[in-house]
Amino acid sequence: METKRLEPGVLDLFVRYNWPGNIRELEATLHRAIVMSNDETVTRGDFYGLFAEIGGMAADHTPIPLPASLLKPVIGKIEITGEVYDDVISSVDRQLIERALESSGGRIREAARRLGLARNTLKAKIQKYNIAVRD
């Protein structure tokens, strides 16, 4: 396995994040970013959804920009139609909801708060996407 470096500022994000899953979440997050990173340096952008809460804010309410280039390579190669738009939006929506539920321990009210949604809106989306929520 190749050696990768962390961009300055990434460790600061790690320190400020609450880590509800403790060391296992930290380990899994770092592993995922290393695998997904295309460069020898792992950047803040490689953690695109981790530190986001309401409107792309870290736990201490510091803004974390979502890289605009995240979907650009894919979107640049597909024909844009209403169906494609719906598929992409639904896919991203579902992944964000699943991540919010995971990071909130399955608590719908907390996941809704993190996503900036009303609880009933989140419940409707959970049903729409057939997302399993643990009791």
Would you state the pLDDT for residue 74? 62
Task: Quote the CA–CA distance of 125 and 128 in Å, as a whole number.
Answer: 5
Task: Say how far apart CA 66 and CA 52 lie, in whole Å.
Answer: 9
Q: List, for residues 44-95, the tens digit of each pLDDT value.
A: 777 755 555 423 444 444 444 445 455 666 666 777 788 878 887 888 888 8
The one-letter code for the residue type at 111 is: A
What residue ranges do the domains of the chain occupy?
A: 1-68, 71-135
The pLDDT value given to residue 55: 36
Pick the CATH number of 71-135 from 1.10.10.60, 3.40.50.150, 3.40.1190.20, 1.10.1380.10: 1.10.10.60
Under the banding of pLDDT at 50, 70 and 90, the label for residue 96 is confident
pTM over 0.85: no
- Helix, strand, coil fractions of the chain, as percent rounded to 5: 50, 5, 45
- Asked if the domains 1-68 and 71-135 are classified in one and the same CATH topology, the answer is no
In this structure, what are the phi and psi dihedrals at residue 67, rounded to the nearest 5 degrees?
-60, 125
Nearest-angstrom CA–CA distance, 93 and 19: 22
Question: What confidence tens digit (pLDDT) does each residue in 4-48 have?
Answer: 888 887 777 777 777 776 777 778 777 777 777 777 887 777 775
- The highest-level CATH class for domain 1-68 is mainly alpha
